[in-house]
């Protein structure tokens, strides 16, 4: 019933599903899956119910800034992972997220330009993040691997969303986009399988974020005009359509290998 209960139940289920998908179809698919607005979407919905459509519209604009910030995280982590261990790579990625998101919040370019910036950031990320292949699956990961991912991700989601209402709608939207699931998948892949696996997660995340951007672009443009239910329905349809295209593109790129 409560949003806290939703976070505690839904978060570990999602991270478990993404981890299993990564083991079955490759780390890039796990990253692509968590690129969907599976947590920030429900957060945006509850913000709209609790604070109204105008608050939700501004939060959606903050979420578009978060797309570019996630691209910054991905690029910074990927390049840091070439020479550094995962804790340092994560810190550098988190700093890049904060700087990118903070800069966009300060500039506040407006929703059409914010969407354009987000899409350009994703395209840049796809060029800069190596699309390496893990040569073979890990034979036996520790039994604690997936439970640890679930605990870490749940704790991060609860902390970040608890802080969000204090900082206002735009910053709430930005904080809700911190790549919690992708960061957890990336760090654990980096630690257990090496940097190539981490690059796979990040590359998949960037592909998945196109649907994320489409979702919040529709919310920002439509929610004040159409109301909550119709805006979210249209946003979900848009995100699913974009995700279908990006999944096809990922499979097409992998096919010749």
The per-residue pLDDT for range 99-157, each reduced to its tens digit, is 998 888 888 777 788 889 999 999 999 999 987 665 544 445 556 556 766 676 667 66
The helix-helix angle for 180-193 and 195-226 (nearest 10°) equals 170
Q: What is the pLDDT along the chain (257 residues), one digit of tens a residue?
A: 455 665 666 666 666 666 666 566 666 666 677 677 776 777 777 778 777 888 888 888 888 888 999 999 999 999 999 888 988 999 999 999 989 988 888 887 777 888 899 999 999 999 999 876 655 444 455 565 567 666 766 676 666 666 656 766 666 666 767 777 777 778 888 888 888 888 888 988 899 899 999 999 999 989 988 988 899 999 989 998 998 898 888 777 664 44
Q: Nearest 5 degrees, angle CA 185-CA 189-CA 194?
A: 155
Q: Is pTM beyond 0.85 here?
A: no
DSSP string of 70-128?
Answer: HHHHHHHHHHHTTTS-HHHHHHHHHHHHHHHHHHHHHH---HHHHHHHHHHHHHHHHHH
Contact in structure between 206 and 119 (CB atoms under 8 Å): no
């Amino acid at each position: 019933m409560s949003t806290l209960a939703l976070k505690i139940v839904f978060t570990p289920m999602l991270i478990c599903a993404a981890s299993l998908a990564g083991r079955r179809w490759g780390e890039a698919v796990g990253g692509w899956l968590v690129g969907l607005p599976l947590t920030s979407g429900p957060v945006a919905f509850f913000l709209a119910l609790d604070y109204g459509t105008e608050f939700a519209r501004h939060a959606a604009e903050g979420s578009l800034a978060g797309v570019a910030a996630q691209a910054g995280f991905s690029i910074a982590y990927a390049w840091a992972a070439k020479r550094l261990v995962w804790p340092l790579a994560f810190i550098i990625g988190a700093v890049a997220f904060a700087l990118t998101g903070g800069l966009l919040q300060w500039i506040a370019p407006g929703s059409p330009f914010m969407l354009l910036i987000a899409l350009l950031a994703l395209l840049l990320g796809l060029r800069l993040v190596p699309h390496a292949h893990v040569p073979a699956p890990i034979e036996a990961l520790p039994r604690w691997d997936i439970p640890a991912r679930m605990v870490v991700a749940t704790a991060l989601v609860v902390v970040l969303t608890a802080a969000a209402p204090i900082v206002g709608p735009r910053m709430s939207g930005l904080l809700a986009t911190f790549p919690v699931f992708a960061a957890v998948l990336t760090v654990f892949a980096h630690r257990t399988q090496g940097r190539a696996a981490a690059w796979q997660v990040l590359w998949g995340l960037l592909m998945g974020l196109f649907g994320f951007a489409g979702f919040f672009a529709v919310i920002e443009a439509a929610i004040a005009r159409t109301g909550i239910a119709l805006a979210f329905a249209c946003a979900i349809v848009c995100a699913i359509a974009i995700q279908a295209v990006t999944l096809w593109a990922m499979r097409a790129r992998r096919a010749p290998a």
